[in-house]
Structure 1
Amino acid sequence: MASASSDAGRGEERCPGCRERMDSRRLARRFHVCPHCGHHGRLAVDERLRLVVDRGSFRERDAEVRSADPLCFVDRRPYVERLAVARRATGRREAILTGTARIGRHPVAIGVFDFSFLGGSMGTAVGERLARLIEHAGRQRLPLVVFAASGGARMQEGIFSLLQMAKVTAALARLQAQRVPFLSVLTDPTTGGVAASLALLGDVNLAEPGALIGFAGPRVVEQTIQQRLPAGLQRAESLRERGMVDLLVPRPALRATLAGLLALLAGPAVVRRRRFPRGS
């Protein structure tokens, strides 16, 4: 599910779903949901936070954790150069932002993947930030909310990247043993090692409509088996039908749905006080 393509000269964008032209500013105000067909474009991290967390409540954690270059990796260009380019382009140090916030006045530990930073790939720094966030959630008994958007493990870090799958999964197992809830929100795309580790381990797995979710992407699978995949096989709707996703939530309803789930998980006293949004 790609983002809308821009028509730079006129401040317009074309929806990749229905191909209708839209005013870019209007689309941004709608958090990149097409008013014609409901296509959900990709959100920047800052836009995601504005959408779901209470205003002014986010506090970043572990910003100092950055990727190293343990393999001195070079393909068409050195890995350190790719990191520098990604940092300049996004204004971020890594492919995930972690911290604490409030959603509907409920305190949470929150992580948001940034797909525009090297495809949201999970290397040592992303894994370490996630592990620290999960441990903080356990110590403080804060519900954990993670928005996944990733192409998977970061190939430039080799086995060090793959080890993050085990590290994060083990941290989530300890969090589960502490009976601290984990809400996983799968956005477009959630693939590779991130899909195979943390993204589908939530106590409640939510997904945005149309999100690509799977281990290998459809092009890789089709090239391997030399067959066309059934339409929609790796989309959120298909995973919802098969029980791997619990809730399919349109973006405008996401904040209210998360707040309702957090109220429910907080206990009966909070549920009695809170008025749930319709349809959640």
Structure 2
Amino acid sequence: MKSVSKRYLSFILSLLMAMTIFIGLDLGDINAQALSGDTLKNADTEAILEDMGLGWNLGNSLDATGGSGLDTETSWSNPKTTQALIDKVKSLGFNTVRVPVSWGKHVSGDNYTIDSAWLARVKEVVDYCYKNDMYVILNIHHDTKSSASASGAGYYPRSSAYSSSEKFVTSVWSQMAEYFKDYDYHLIFETLNEPRLIGTGYEWWFNKWNIPSEVKDAIDCINKLNQKAVDTIRDTGSNNRGRLIMCPGYDASIDGATVSGF
């Protein structure tokens, strides 16, 4: 059974790596806050990936976009996340929880200032996982706009919308990264979720051997948004100097991550 488990873990990690690029450094220069029983304080990226084990996605909760304020968490019919829920997930053998978070409905002003109550709630859920010595993946989730000209807070991977997209991504990540910068390597950032050309014929698929000009432009924009997010996170210092960061390709697909140009 042990060899089967290792093969399954290897498959899961290989799939994850195929769909995103993990940007990590030698973590020996991080002043990580050691957890009880911690053996990975100075571990490298590969060791951390192996230690992450099986992952579980807390979907349709903090990423839900109905309602307003803190009520958005339950707007897609899931109950409010509790410590008991995360404890149960841990007891079933999961060691990593991905916490998708949508931010567009929780920002205000030209600088996209995040509501402090929303940040506090996200922290509360992250801490539920930390109390179980689990890894957490935190991201920008349903904040892709419906089109390049759509109003509201968010981003769209097209050159005509790049300026406003960059402003949103860098503003949100600067606040998130600053807020969580002292958390140790068990917290992993994912820059974007499924960045794509919503509302076009290329939303979920494109021919990677004959890439349409629209998609080439989108890939270029995604590259730049990923890099801006990484630079913004790194610039906040502390443990963010070497934190693992996931950077998706076009629509977070295998094609999007293996196509020439990503």
| TM-score relative to the length of structure 2 | 0.32
More strand, by proportion: 1
Tell me which protein shows more helix as a share of its residues.
Answer: 2
TM-score in terms of structure 1 length: 0.30
